[in-house]
Structures are given as structure tokens and as C-alpha cells.
Chain A
């Protein structure tokens, strides 16, 4: 896997008049994972969007090397299309073969329109999209929401494999994420 790192220095995030967090710094290298914990509304998702470069921090900066993939609550798959076609669209952009369709138990769902999928099935479909992107840095925003115990174990395995291949994972979740060598960052400590 290509050389990668992500480093954030002295980040602050503001929503309206409210300062969500300030003075937040983190640095991750190949094979390292970080879990962002904290109550709802503490700014986990905002921090994810800042790390992804999709939103600008109020102050501070993010520096990274290596491509990045984001999994959030929206699967970004066309609702009216069958799952297979919706995933094919992203494959056309990302290139390469589809990954993890079988492991994620999606073969039987490829003909089903995305709008008929359940919450857990959508999550697994979004994971297939993420795998197909083949990026060294993964940002996972609540990756375990709506998944059954079997799928939770599968996601934990996928992330562990990604890390041992030299990848980086940032996981925002209030659930326990079983992973050896997972650093925890509780956001509440940074609240102003």
C-alpha cells in the first residue's frame, strides 16, 4: 500500500455560535487506527468532514498524504437503481474490480433496487463502495450502526486487515470497536 499519513494540528470547529472543539491535534501513520468517542453532537462527524477536507476548520490545519475514503450515514448509491448497477457506477469512476461483494453478503441483493434495502444492508453496500475505492486512509463515521453481530465482526475484521496492509483508519463510533491497538480520543475533553 502506498505511503500514507494524516496529521491535524490545533483544530477548532464552530457550529453557529457554539465552539464544538478546539486545540485538537492528532497524527496517524501506516497501520494505526483511532477511535473518536464522545456523546452525540460533540462534533465527531464535523471532525470527520474536516479531516476529509469536505469542511473547513475554524482554525488549525489538516495535512495528509494518500487518498482518502469516507463512509458516513449516506451510502451515496442511486436509490432507484439495482444495487449492482449503483455499485458499478462507482466502479466506473474508481476503476478495478469490485471487492468484498461476497464477503459482505451482497450477491443476492445485486438485483434489488437500493431503496428497498434495509439499514444494515445499505451499510454493507456502502462498505463495498469503500472497499472498491482502494484508498490507504479510511474515515468511518458510525460504521456499526444498524449492523447485526455477524456483520459487526466482519467490519472489525475488514478494518484489521486494512491496518495490517499498512492503511489508516479513523473510526467515529459510540459503540465498542474491537480492534487490537486502537487509540481512543474522547472529544468531550476538548469541549470549550
Chain B
């Protein structure tokens, strides 16, 4: 347990925005930049903006979740950290679980926070914002889990791994996007519940899929 806490402290110090370890505000600024550019691109039509704004926030959240992927596992594998953890009997599954929590904490809450100014920029109303926020709360853990799995699977690839990871995340995130952003048009609880269900499945799967991928990369 104390080992898991030590791992979490280290992961947060590396991943949280604004920490010295290279965790940056970049994904969040990126998220806000998309929301800011959207009205310029689509034109100042309030009904059109309000109708599509929620969906844009979702796409921006997905892209913000992709940015930190190359820093999730590759540096630790190269530095031999995973070897040292394995020697101490800390399983890859434990390390991946802790990192999933740290990865979500480093972008999930911040994206939900940044959705407030973003909603003003794209001009959506209070009721829609509520559905967006609830949807993000239900969906971002799933996005984090997909990111963790993909980052672990591509960790052994030299060079283009980061770009490939980003590409691989997108199709897997489609179900989350359909139900999460779909809840906006129906305004229903059903979409949110399904988003949360998909997230739960992904979060439950991520430690085992990610752990197996890291182990394969280490033994290879």
C-alpha cells in the first residue's frame, strides 16, 4: 500500500499540469484554443453555435486526452524503472492502475473546469452545460483508460509511437463520443448512463491489458 502511494505521488508530480516534471498546461490550453477557434471558423450564428458547441467541447476533450500519451510509459521503460519495480514484486498491473488514476487526475478535472469558460466561448446554455459536465465526468475516465491501454501497447515502438498512439485512440473513443455527446441532443439520462458504463468497462480492463503490454515490451 505504501508502495502504491509512493508511485501515485511520483506519477502526480510528473503528470499534473504545472509541475516541474514536464507535466504542462499544454493540453488544457489546447482544449481552450479549440473552443476559442470554433466560433471564428463557424461564424457568429448563435443558434448554430449553441446547437453544436457541446459536441465541440467533447472533441476538444478527446484531443486534450491524447496529448500526454507519449509521456505515460515510454520514459519509465527506457529508464529501467519497470525492471526495478518488477524486482521489488510490484506488478505491472499495480503500476498501470496507479498511472491510470494519475493520468485521469491530470486532465479529467481540469477539462471539466476548462469546459466552463469554453461553454461561454461557444455560447451554450446552463442546461446543456450541465449535460456536458456530467458527460465529461462519466466519459473522461474511459478516455484515460483508452489512452493508458494504447500508450502501453505502443510503448515498444521506436520513433513514431506517439503519433500512432494518437491515431489508435480515436476509433476506440468513438463509442464514448457517440453516447457522451449524444446525450446532448436527446438531453437524456440514458446516454450518460451508457457513457459511464463504457467507461467502467474500459477502466476495469486497462490495468490488465496495459500490464500485459508493458510486460511483453520489457521481456522482448
Contacts and interface: CB of A to CB of B under 8 A. Distances in A.
A56 B219 contact: yes
Contact of A69 (B2, B3, B87): B87
Contacts, number: 57
Interface in B21-46: 21-22
Interface string B79-108: 111011011101000000000000000000
Given A74-B79, A78-B10, A89-B6, A94 B21 contact: no
Interface residues on B, range: 20 to 34
Given A80-B22, A94-B88, A72 B80 contact: yes
A181 interface: no
A50 to B, nearest CB: 10
B12 to A, nearest CB: 12
B3 A54 contact: no
Contacts of B47: none
Contacts of A54: 83, 86-87, 218-219
Contacts of B83: 52, 54, 70, 72, 74, 76
Interface of A: 52-56, 68-70, 72, 74-81, 89-90, 92-95, 129, 133
9 contacts: A52-B87, A53-B87, A70-B84, A74-B78, A74-B79, A76-B83, A81-B21, A94-B88, A95-B2
Interface of B: 2-3, 5-7, 9-10, 14, 20-22, 78-81, 83-84, 86-88, 90, 218-219
